Structure 1
Amino acid sequence: MVITAILMRRQRALVRVFEGVGATSAAQARSAEELGVAPGMAWHHLVGHAVLRCPGEGRYFLDEANWQRLRRRRRVIALAAIAGLLVLLALILLLTVRRG
């Protein structure tokens, strides 16, 4: 869980770098060196989700629509996990009350 939080924080930082330089289209794509970042796990994860896209020559740009889709998907998963935990806690409480 901690690793996931760190990965997500690094991804958000990468996205801010791309936004900060305006690299949000193929015409504005930049290399990692130009951005002053080292591609790591967060970078490759964003590439795998097509959030960072490569039009060629080792240059990348931020696909803002895919970033928003990934963020929405993560929110839905988090809310589903919380809802599942609440249901589980309610069942435990119900069983505890019935036994007592």
Structure 2
Amino acid sequence: MVISAVMMIKQRAIVRAFERAAATTVATACTAEQLGLKPGMAWYQLVGHAVLRCPGEGRYFLDVASWQRLRRRRHRIALAVVAAVLVLLGLLFVAGTLSRPGAP
């Protein structure tokens, strides 16, 4: 989980670099070096999610719609995990209350 959080922070930094450079179309695509970035695992995950697209010659641009979809999906997953934990805690509370001597 910590690794995922670190990876998401790195991915956000990469996306911000593309946004600052306005590299959001094929015409404005940049190389990692032009943005002062070094491709690593976070970079290649974004490429795999089609958030960073390569029109050729080692240049990349940010697909804003793909980035927004990825963020929405991550938020939905986080909400589902929180909901599942709350349900589990509720069930444990009810089970603990019912198992006490003298419980109704």
Please give the range of the TM-score, normalised by the shorter of the 2 chains. Answer: over 0.9
Kindly, what percent of the aligned residue pairs are identical?
62
Highest CA radius of gyration, 1 or 2? 2
Aligned to 1:35: 35
What is the TM-score normalised by the length of structure 1? 0.99
Aligned to 1:97: 97
Match of 2:33, SS state, is helix
Query: Is 1:44 aligned to 2:53, yes or no?
Result: no
Count of paired positions:
100
| Letter of the structure 2 residue corresponding to residue 81 of structure 1 | V
1:66 Cα deviation from its structure 2 partner = 0.2
CA distance in 2, matches of 1:63, 1:85: 33
Greater helix content: 1
Q: What stretches of structure 1 of length at least 5 have no aligned partner?
A: none
Aligned to 2:3: 3
CA distance in 1, matches of 2:83, 2:52: 31
1:12 Cα deviation from its structure 2 partner = 0.3
1:70 Cα deviation from its structure 2 partner = 0.1
RMSD (Å), alpha carbons: 0.4
Match of 2:60, SS state, is strand
Aligned to 2:65: 65
Aligned to 2:88: 88
Q: What stretches of structure 2 of length at least 5 have no aligned partner?
A: none
1:21 Cα deviation from its structure 2 partner = 0.5
What is the TM-score normalised by the length of structure 2? 0.95
